[in-house]
Amino acid sequence: MVGICDNVEQGVMAVSKELLVLIGYEVDVLETFREMASGYQLVSEFEEADFSKVEIVLGWDERLVDVLESGQHQLKWIQLSTAGVDKLPLDLLAQEGVRLTSASGMHTHSLAESIFGMLLARTRGILQSVEASKASRWAQEEIEPVVLFDKSVTIIGAGKIGTEVAHMAKAFGMQTTGVNRSGGQIDGFDKVYMNDNLAEAVADADVVINILPLTPETTGLFNLSLFEQFKPGAMFVNVGRGESVVTADLLTALDQELLSFAALDVFEEEPLPAESPVYTHSKILATPHIAGFMDDYLGTLRPIIEENLQAFIDREELPVSEVDLERKY
């Protein structure tokens, strides 16, 4: 445990508030957090926390559910180290008056790079070449590369990540369409549709990319009925949430040639079972939920934590990725 004490004229007096850090930072980073939160005792082990004193938690532990349900706590704010919140007890957090911030936005570059990595693997014949190479076969005549230049892409979820994807698409010379709640114009997009006009937004797209969070409205959104609205032969990429896609319907759409290719990083069930037909389908590229991975995850996360921590200490609004517990994202 790392402790923080208030200095008073008579000596050192223990503080009555605690900051619990459940993210695996080194001691020098913990020291920075300790200095920022000088009115808190910093605790780095769940078992050593006194939840009658803990106001701030950096990270998540499933045992926090029991703490919240007990009602015997002083929790005021939880900062996640991940972007997704659909597995968390959002209603319980709202009931207990605990604010929640996520790491949404920190995966902007890694996700955008992954999306185009998957697309290029298909369009430039890289996937087919890898398979042919494994069989020691020269497959030049079997491969029909596709050029992304001047193709149209619809990005469903035109937030921070979607905007980065749009800018990257523009670098490839693509036409960009976005979909969000408001339909308001966003830099990087040629046009933007409201969520209610989703069918119209996908109708002419050569590539459709899903980056939506999981909510009651987005669960099962990508079903056969929607896939039938896609441009025939379109490519589909899902890096949002697995449960937003009905996998059986996606397989049907591919088999019926409504779609020509699907790149999937997230799935209805994870880990994806060994018997899943997704693994062996010739028109699917599946990656094991790695699109957001990066080489310095904790270093990229740290500025988000520090900005929110300083704001909390200063009793200001939390500036980075506060979750709307009612909307559930």
Catalytically annotated residues: 241, 270, 289
Question: What share of residues in the chain are helix, strand, coil (percent, to 5)?
Answer: 35, 20, 50
Residue 306: CB atoms within 10 A of its CB come to: 15
CB 254 within 8 A of CB 284: yes
Q: Which residue has the tokens 């609205």?
A: 229
3-state secondary structure of 112: helix
Cα(237)–Cα(247) distance, rounded to whole angstroms?
Answer: 13
Residue 117: CB atoms within 10 A of its CB come to: 14
Cα(33)–Cα(19) distance, rounded to whole angstroms?
Answer: 9
Cα(258)–Cα(260) distance, rounded to whole angstroms?
Answer: 7
**The CA-based dihedral angle spanning residues 57, 160, 283, 252, taken in that order and rounded to the nearest 10 degrees:** 80
Q: Which residues contact 235 (CB under 8 A, 6 or more apart)?
A: 119, 122, 123, 206, 207, 208, 259, 260, 261, 262, 263
Q: Which residues pair with 179 in a beta bridge?
A: 156, 193
Q: What are the CA-CA distances from residue 289 to residues 109, 169, 270 (Å)? A: 15, 22, 9
| Gap between the terminal Cα atoms of the chain | 33
- The separation between CA 136 and the C-alpha centre of its own chain, rounded to angstroms, equals 38
- Alpha carbons within 13 angstroms on the beta-carbon side of residue 287 total 21
Do you find a cis peptide bond into 277, omega within 30 degrees of 0?
Answer: no
